[in-house]
Amino acid sequence: MSKEKVTLRVHDVLIKGNTKTKDSLIEAEVESLLKNVTSMQELLQAAQIANARLQNLDIFDSINITLDSGPPELPGTANVVIQVVETKNPLTGDFGIFSKPEARSWSLEGSLKLKNILGYGDIWDGSFAYGWDQASEISTGVTLPRFKGLANPVTARLMLLSQDWLKFSSYKERLMGISVGLISTRQHDLAYNLTWRTLTDPSQMSSRPIRAQLGHSLLSSLKYTFKIDRRDSPLRPTQGYAFVSTSHIGGLAPDSRCLRFLRQQEFDLRYAFPLGFYKAALNFGVSVGVIFPWGSGFRNMPSPLPERFFLGGHSSPVCTLGGPTTLLGFKTRGLGPTEPRRLIPEKSDNENSAASPGRDVLGGDVAITAFADLSFNLPLKLFREAGIHGHLFACAGNLNKLTENEYRNFSFQKFKDSFRSSAGFGVIVPTKLFRMEVNYCYILKQLEHDRGKTGVQFSFSSPL
């Protein structure tokens, strides 16, 4: 088309093919885009954006937007015709089995979705995850993209979660609650959570700091997330940057059992730099997190145990934007402050005294991790076509306690000197069912009671 501007405005938007979907939903997604154009070039661009918005609703099999001339008595106008084909099968499902070799555990996960039952683009879903020896979850929720003319999507979710941390920290956690999305845009997300939490110790061997936090508590909190992701791929970025900041405030209820804390849960920065050969790219990242209680006498109070930061695990730091968590080469909850478990004579008589009673990982109130990763194509064409590639990496991280007046003993020099670190290389195999990493990790530095190990390590994760 000629670059010369062709004056044009939209006279009407005609919607066809929707038998269940409300006209108001489609109009809300596209009308503001199409009604404000002043030229043919702007109209074509707006039509592309409108098509993408309707596709994102995930309730149509196909969308076709065509332009027609307006009424003869109104020259310089056009009608926009939106032809949609609604999804024939509103029920979809996904199932998979995932492994965490560092924790020697597997999980069976699945979800079901019902789409557009009410005609408002509503998506009803139920999901479950059953983890052998660690976590199980059942949840159900609904998402309404533009309910009754509201500009922001409406989301609500009920969940029941059980997590077993006996092996690492001598407690089990059970959560039951509801989450309501208040604001959800491309870059901003604000949600309210109301959760009843129970911590128990069936082993009766937990250390004193763990025993002090056992029992029931109420979590009434607001969580705000700001996210920018300009990377060309979330799985194998070769250029661009990403930034995520998540703030979490708990204690928004008068109940004395309500957990009161301020948590800068995530502060993630990622940057990918292309090198120009073999699709090679350098990825750098840093993650920081801080938590602190608030309220009367907060300086002497401990932070809530499950809200603390725990480092370790074999998840890819390149793909993970979830705060300071991953440190390759270290097992799940594999470093940080620990306390000896309570010794029960009847149980310890039949055990090796050197291995009993073990230690509880307590987590930290401040944590930081950083990494550098060089990814590159492998020389064989077969590997390149399958997306199989190699990488070299180096990781470092640390965490420390600040609460219960420990901030008075905090020293930046000691914190820097106690950083743990690792380096290595590996191969990444992406498939439609899972993403597998096979890495050789070499522990450069670890402290007493850390659980880092030099050797080959496997990791399986979702392909998305």
Mean pLDDT (whole number) for 365-379:
94
- Are the beta carbons of 443 and 458 closer than 8 angstroms? no
Nearest alpha carbon to residue 244 among 225, 230, 222: 225
Measured at the CA of 228, the angle between CA 27 and CA 311, to 5 degrees, comes to: 130
- Residue 129: pLDDT band (50, 70, 90) is confident
Q: What tokens does 47 get?
A: 């039509």
Cα torsion at 337, 321, 391, 387 (round to 10°)?
A: 140
Q: What tokens does 384 get?
A: 């390149």
Q: Indicate the pTM of the whole model.
A: 0.81
Helix (H, G, I), strand (E, B) or coil at 85: strand
User: What confidence tens digit (pLDDT) does each residue in 306-318 have?
Assistant: 999 999 988 888 8
Query: DSSP letters of 265-303?
Result: EEEEEEEEEE-SSTT-EEEEEEEEEEEEE-STTGGGSPP
- Are the beta carbons of 249 and 225 closer than 8 angstroms? no
Distance in angstroms (rounded) separating the CA atoms of residues 281 and 277: 9
- For 152-341+359-461, the fitting CATH number among 2.40.160.50, 1.10.357.10, 3.30.1390.10, 3.60.20.10 is 2.40.160.50
- Are the beta carbons of 157 and 141 closer than 8 angstroms? yes
Please report the pLDDT score of residue 133 as a whole number.
Answer: 62
- For 9-86, the fitting CATH number among 3.30.1330.10, 3.10.20.310, 3.40.1010.10, 3.50.50.60 is 3.10.20.310
Burial 271-297 (b: 16+ CB within 10 A, else e): bbeeeeeeebbebebbbbbbbbbeeee
pLDDT exceeds cutoff 50 at 265: yes
Of the ranges 34-43, 128-137, 226-235, 245-254, the best mean pLDDT one: 226-235
Residue 151, Ramachandran bin (φ over 0: left; ψ between -120 and 50: alpha; else beta): alpha
Name which of 89-103, 274-288, 401-415 the model is least confident about.
Answer: 89-103
Mean pLDDT (whole number) for 233-250:
92
Please report the pLDDT score of residue 97 as a whole number.
Answer: 66
User: What confidence tens digit (pLDDT) does each residue in 146-186 have?
Assistant: 766 667 788 999 999 999 999 999 999 999 999 999 888 88
Domain ranges of the chain: 9-86, 152-341+359-461
Q: Which phi and psi angles does 437 have, rounded to 5°?
A: -120, 130
CA end-to-end span of the chain = 38
User: What confidence tens digit (pLDDT) does each residue in 68-78 have?
Assistant: 888 888 888 88
User: What confidence tens digit (pLDDT) does each residue in 420-437 have?
Assistant: 999 999 999 988 877 889
User: What confidence tens digit (pLDDT) does each residue in 289-338 have?
Assistant: 999 888 777 888 888 999 999 999 888 888 888 788 889 999 989 999 99
Name which of 28-32, 194-198, 440-444 the model is least confident about.
Answer: 28-32
Distance in angstroms (rounded) separating the CA atoms of residues 203 and 353: 18
